Structure 1
Amino acid sequence: MSGTAVSGAPPLPPGTEPVPGYEILAGLARTGWQDVYDAWSAERDCRCVIKMVRSDRRGERRLGERLLREGRWLRDFTHPHLVRAYDVRAEPEPLVVLETLTGETLSHLLHRLRHRPSAADVALLGVQLCSAVHYLHGRGLLHLDMKPSNVVVERGLAKVLDLSVARPPGPAPAGVGTCCYLAPEQARGGRLTAAADVWGIGVTLFEAACGDLPFDCRTTGGATERPYAGDEPCTGTGTGDPDDWYPQLERTAPPAGSRRRLPPALAAAVDSCLRPDPPARPTVAGLAAALEAVLPVPRRGPRAGRFTPPGS
């Protein structure tokens, strides 16, 4: 199992059938409240991913409800840039079955590769993320945790994972999401709008283009990035601890062009996402249009090619 070990009851061993028709093959990840498994579906005759509440936390009803809510959304939603859920089970314990994605998370790709993606590939990645977020917003949800570890690149197509902290627009407690990717309004708490997801896309593109984050955050909760990994309930990886520090509340993001020479239109699009005032950021549609303008003419439009990281 990848990532830092988390204390508590051990994960299910290979060969276990958590419900009839599904067999655990191996552990994939463990978070503060979830276990994620590589599994086999007898009905579909294929591999799948199973998410369950950790056995030592199954007495916390809100965690099971949260998992089932995410699973039902992903089962009912259909979009080429969102991971799909096959099955949702409430008994004997809450369980969600997801499609297996054979690609790598964007965070793994960015850390593994020596060369950063081309400007055109960063723009195309952004167009795909905008497409997924636009779909979610049309169904009344904000993602609120857009980051490279929640994006899998599979055969050149980006797919967004993890709706575990998604919620409708409106008031939210401080720290929902992941520290370094939080919009200022997420960090401080308050009313959240589509602009919070625009910020998340912007930070993700900044990291993809420049090889680093615009802000270096520290929280007492910390964060371990893993595929399909959810964050701690209610406050994501932020803990609400007074020692948590959010630099995005104290200063503006550096211009993307100061970290890497980029086409002016791409740098301007990324910078526009990271404006502290939510109304000053572009709409999702406006951001997509600005990113499409960066692409070579033959690759523009909704069927305009695929994100291809260097070395792939």
Structure 2
Amino acid sequence: MRCVRPGCPGSYGADGYCDECGRKAPASATAVPKQASTATTPSVATVSASGRTTPSSGRSRGSSRGGLGAGLIDLPRVPLRDPATAVMTDPKVSESRRFCVKCEEPVGRGKDGKPGRVEGFCPNCGHAFSFVPRLGSGDVVNDRYEVLGALAYGGLGWIYLARDRNLADSVSDRWVVLKGLINTGDADAMAAAVTERRYLVEIDHPSIVKIHDFVQHPDPKTGVPVGYIVMEYVGGQSLRDMLMARRAEGARVMPLAEVLAYGAEVLPALGYLHGRDLLYCDFKPDNVIHAEEQLKLIDLGAVRRIDDDVSAVYGTPGYQAPDVAEVGPSIASDIYTVGRSLAVLSFEFRGFSTTYASSLPERADIPLLAQEESYYRLLRRSIHRDPARRFQSASEMSEQLLGVLREVLSAVDGAPRAALSRQFTPERRAFGTGAGEVGAAAVAADLRPADVAGALPLPQVDVLDPGAGFLATLSSTDPAELVRQLEAPPVRSTEVSLRLVRARIEAGDLDAAGTDLDALTVADPFDWRVDWYRGIAALAAGRPGDARVAFDAVYGELPGEPAARLALAAAIECTGDTAAAEKLYDRVWRVDRGFISAAFGLARIRLAAGDRDGTLAVLDQVPDSSSHHITAQVAAVRASLVADQHSLLAAAGRLERLVLDVERQALLTVEMLKAALDWITGTHLPAHRLPDGVQVLGHPLTERGLRFGLERAYRTMAQFARDPDHKIALVDQANAVRPRTLT
């Protein structure tokens, strides 16, 4: 509602203060209806299954909240700073940061032991420069804001701390920040400030500093009116300051999990701006403040409209994307600045603004990148030289960043942190579980590429695709019939074409599937789903090497997706590179216990390497609620059927605890007793040295006792044999293994 103060044209905001005079609404005034939301939700683009984006908008809860860390990690609380202690006692611009705003040549530099001038003219182009604050302690701007002093300076201006005298009179001190210009004679900077006045006051997001006002104050030297932005004071620490503090303590960098958590908080704020056709342009650790349990983007001086191709572009070397100089800023260039900032915060990035101004160091040279492959791929995509290969929206990057964060945290403490994927279905079925299968259901224990092809997750159908409705009506499970229906669909679309590819692969027509994929690549060379189905087709054809290349490309596009790592691990294992496959299986299994294939892959590789304890450990992690719990325990039993008495007895204990039908119990009993008998006869222990009183599945751990047990198990199996010849063979085996007796 309108402000009740006489002559004031302002209105009361949701916080109860007038947006013009700053006074609090009187109790007698009708309160502004308190909504569940005081800020608009980022109108970010919706990410489709292809990774492309489509516009969306809406409103939801946007009030300030505590608890940084995306619900995955508790970040340390940063106490608010007393505003009075934040003021610079001797505000100066260091000589190394003095550049002409027109030609960008160094100015104000010292010579022959004498300090450089803080005001003067550029020797290169003659443009005037000044690095002296225009406001001092006690100055009052617009008859309202009393200046305490300078806080800092940035690329576009000095930043001052001030007290809002309108509020101080009747309520309490309200601290604000005034942002002016480093050089009041710079036309571009002045134009940028005027541009800010037009739309920045409308920005309302809990993670973006609030712009309260835009005022003018005459320059004390020239008398020319100078514009100042009035924004809320955020009294915490910038991420850069926090990094510097850690370096002073010897830590050098921030923990990766904290860095990713900060990124997860920042990206929605950038998405909010992008949804309003605004670009931040100059994102860097200096411009993010952590105050108590909240993160805020500050310094909106470089913000500009997406379609603005006239006003000056501001950025910071080492953070700004190389394409900005050629085609101007974009959403992709904002994404680039986030990737660069994550890199600077997470490892010692020497030469980030010179040698590696638009690249990353070799992965092998940075221990963190060598260890955290998913994080390395996240950075690599976010700062790709081709803007079209970067994440195409803040929400798309945030989704993958959170996946990487879950992986990093799970790798540290082993606790799973599964999340529903927006890109993939769950596993269609577990593959590589042969070691746990018994009887008629038993399959080969070795991993076969064709089995993997039919079991891996599938890309989610993009519900916005024109053919999504038609695909939902398909009910046939016969691949040939599906191919027939999909070849003459009522509507042609990318999703229909991809479903046809899948049907062709399942029908065994791999050549036609390859031709369709080639056509899809021409239509959209950046659709990761094409590479996914190329990988599936290669596995179906028995070419795991080609599948490895295809799934590696998908992993590069979706570094936070466990499904991508699972597919790559399986393809790598099929090529024989078990060491590389083990690392990927391990990361998948730690994050999400729903990927049973990862558990069996990890167990299979560990067992082959002789790591029996590691094998049993991962199989025991398959939860009781899983339909594959029994299968995992059977595999654990078989993994222990070697070596020594302790392992055999442990395996027998597992088998006794399993709830199996009589036939499968008998089959496993035969395996167990044969292994025990082989151990007894293989050790050649004298009879008096054989274990006394020890039993395996109720039978003494002696040759005679084990033979009686085997005889009984074979006869039990014979009762379930459906083929007469098989029944006779089992009875013969029972008679052959039975020890000699007098009766």
Indicate the TM-score class for this superposition, using the shorter chain for normalisation: 0.7 to 0.9
Shift of 1:156: 3.9
Q: CA RMSD in A?
A: 3.0
**Could you say which residue in structure 2 is the equivalent of 1:94?**
227
Please, which of 183, 188, 192 is the counterpart of residue 321 of structure 2? 183
> What code does the residue aligned with 1:28 have?
L
Distance 1:255 1:83 in 2: 37
**Could you say which residue in structure 1 is the equivalent of 2:269?**
132
Are positions 1:27 and 2:160 aligned together?
A: no
> For the Cα contact (< 8 Å) 2:191–2:311, is it kept in 1?
no
Distance 1:72 1:210 in 2: 39
Please, which of 74, 85, 93 is the counterpart of residue 4 of structure 1? 93
Give the direction of change, closer, same or farther, for the CA distance of 1:192–1:37 in structure 2 (3 Å limit): closer
Are positions 1:206 and 2:343 aligned together?
A: yes
1:147-186 to 2 correspondences below 5 Å: 147-169=284-306, 171=309, 176-186=314-324
> For the Cα contact (< 8 Å) 2:319–2:353, is it kept in 1?
no
> What code does the residue aligned with 2:196 have?
E
Distance 1:129 1:300 in 2: 20
Are positions 1:50 and 2:178 aligned together?
A: yes
Shift of 1:265: 2.5
Shift of 1:4: 2.4
Percent of aligned positions with the same letter in both sequences? 25
> What code does the residue aligned with 1:215 have?
F
**Could you say which residue in structure 2 is the equivalent of 1:268?**
377
Distance 1:258 1:158 in 2: 32
> For the Cα contact (< 8 Å) 2:159–2:177, is it kept in 1?
yes
Give the direction of change, closer, same or farther, for the CA distance of 1:149–1:35 in structure 2 (3 Å limit): same
Shift of 1:82: 0.8
Shift of 1:128: 1.4
Question: 1:95-144, CA deviations, whole angstroms, 9 ceiling, x for partnerless residues?
Answer: 21111111111111111113332222111111112111101101111111
Please, which of 289, 292, 298 is the counterpart of residue 399 of structure 2? 289
The alignment partner of 1:130 has SS state of: helix
Question: 1:8-58, CA deviations, whole angstroms, 9 ceiling, x for partnerless residues?
Answer: 35532211112211101111234576232111111233111111235xx44
Distance 1:195 1:31 in 2: 23
Please, which of 107, 112, 121 is the counterpart of residue 240 of structure 2? 107
The count of residues paired between Structure 1 and Structure 2 equals 268
Are positions 1:14 and 2:122 aligned together?
A: no
**Stretch of structure 1 that moved more, 122-131 or 87-96:** 87-96
Question: 1:175-228, CA deviations, whole angstroms, 9 ceiling, x for partnerless residues?
Answer: 741111111102x3214321101100000000111132662339xxxxxxxxxx
> What code does the residue aligned with 1:269 have?
L
> For the Cα contact (< 8 Å) 2:192–2:312, is it kept in 1?
no
Shift of 1:165: 2.2
**Stretch of structure 1 that moved more, 253-262 or 112-121:** 253-262
> What code does the residue aligned with 2:230 have?
V
Distance 1:42 1:247 in 2: 45
Larger Rg: 2
> For the Cα contact (< 8 Å) 1:256–1:270, is it kept in 2?
no
Distance 1:175 1:167 in 2: 8
The alignment partner of 1:177 has SS state of: coil
When normalised by structure 2's length, the TM-score is 0.33
> What code does the residue aligned with 1:104 have?
Q
Give the direction of change, closer, same or farther, for the CA distance of 1:271–1:193 in structure 2 (3 Å limit): same
When normalised by structure 1's length, the TM-score is 0.75
Distance 2:133 2:269 in 1: 35
> For the Cα contact (< 8 Å) 2:302–2:313, is it kept in 1?
no
> For the Cα contact (< 8 Å) 2:141–2:216, is it kept in 1?
no
> What code does the residue aligned with 2:139 have?
T
Distance 1:146 1:182 in 2: 8
Shift of 1:300: 8.1
Shift of 1:255: 5.4
The alignment partner of 1:146 has SS state of: coil
Shift of 1:257: 7.1
Are positions 1:70 and 2:196 aligned together?
A: yes
Please, which of 117, 122, 134 is the counterpart of residue 254 of structure 2? 117
Distance 1:299 1:80 in 2: 28
What are the ranges of 5 or more consecutive residues in structure 2 without an aligned counterpart?
1-87, 95-117, 120-129, 168-172, 218-224, 410-415, 421-743
Distance 1:107 1:299 in 2: 32
Distance 2:164 2:312 in 1: 39
> For the Cα contact (< 8 Å) 2:213–2:231, is it kept in 1?
yes
> For the Cα contact (< 8 Å) 2:281–2:329, is it kept in 1?
no
Structure with greater strand percent: 1
Give the direction of change, closer, same or farther, for the CA distance of 1:178–1:75 in structure 2 (3 Å limit): same
The alignment partner of 1:43 has SS state of: helix
> What code does the residue aligned with 1:96 have?
I
> For the Cα contact (< 8 Å) 2:177–2:230, is it kept in 1?
yes
Structure with greater helix percent: 2
